[in-house]
Amino acid sequence: MALPDVQVLTHPAAWLPGDRLVGLARAFGDGVIHTALAEVLVHPDQRGRGIGRALVAAVGSACAGTALYAEALPGQAPFFARCGLVARPAMTVLSRPPTAPGTVTAVPSGGA
């Protein structure tokens, strides 16, 4: 079934001081209810300077009309809490690995 007027919305944010990429945040959502913060990456030698928090804030501003969700790997929840996200212990994250032949996956072994 084809849906009329479907839009794919993304909210990237990057910090490029001196043309060097040191941080990146990427989110996607429906523009109405839900936005998922897919990743927040900061170069290791630039961490601890507030870059990640600034990137999350930029994405949050871009999607201020929707709820913002993030999946935290072990040990990363405190970072997201400092960014204003609150753990929802009643939620369960479900996923599946990529199914296309030859697809590279970053899912750790034991998790899918």
Q: What is the CATH number of the domain that holds 79?
A: 3.40.630.30
How many C-beta atoms lie closer than 10 Å to residue 57's C-beta? 15
What residues have CB less than 8 Å from 61, skipping those under 6 apart?
Answer: none
Picking from 54, 58, 53, 62, the residue whose alpha carbon sits closest to that of residue 35 is 62
Instruction: Tell me how many domains the chain contains.
Output: 1
Dist CA 71 CA 6 (whole Å): 25
Looking up tokens 């990429």, which residue turns up? 21
Mind listing the pLDDT tens digit for each residue in 40-73? Answer: 999 999 899 888 998 899 888 888 999 999 988 8
Report the pLDDT averaged over residues 28-39. Answer: 89
pTM for this structure?
0.74
Task: List the domain range (segments joined by +) for residue 51.
Answer: 1-112
Q: Which of 25-29, 35-39, 101-105 has the lowest mean pLDDT?
A: 101-105
